[in-house]
Amino acid sequence: MDSGKISEHIIMYVYGNIDIAIGNDVSFTGDMKVASLYSDTLNVYSFVNNTPYTIYNYQDLVVTKGTKSVSETVRSFVKEKLVANLDALNASIVYATMFGEKTEIPSDVYSMFSLSGVSHILAVSGLHIGIFVAMLSFILSKL
């Protein structure tokens, strides 16, 4: 894409001390490539998270305060409550079980889930909650 606005999920690795929060609007110029499912290794992350594009060589990064969607608001609220009431490890496991988001789980702990054959626990419940939040968001957006 030469220029313009896209409404897609992208993967963008931002380096440095930049304050970006969920719901912020981010604009930039840079090079974008379509994430392939397989290059040197299998790229399951892009496929599972519906992120067909990767941004690299970005510049002119501007972050402005945006509005969280209903699902982002629910996720943030739940995460804040879990972190406030549980230790970091347990909060990350409960959050992953509820929303299928495993990035906060330390890699050694996730490996134990995988090796023991129960890593599916971290995704199945998250899928159902995600569907519920999506339906609720759709219904509320029509009001």
Cα–Cα distance, 100 to 29 (Å, whole number)? 31
Amino acid at position 65, single letter: K
Q: Backbone dihedral region of 107: left (phi > 0), alpha (psi from -120 to 50 degrees) or beta?
A: alpha
For 46-70, the pLDDT digits (tens) are: 666 667 777 777 788 888 888 878 8
For 97-129, the pLDDT digits (tens) are: 877 778 788 888 888 888 898 887 777 555 666
Cα–Cα distance, 62 to 18 (Å, whole number)? 10
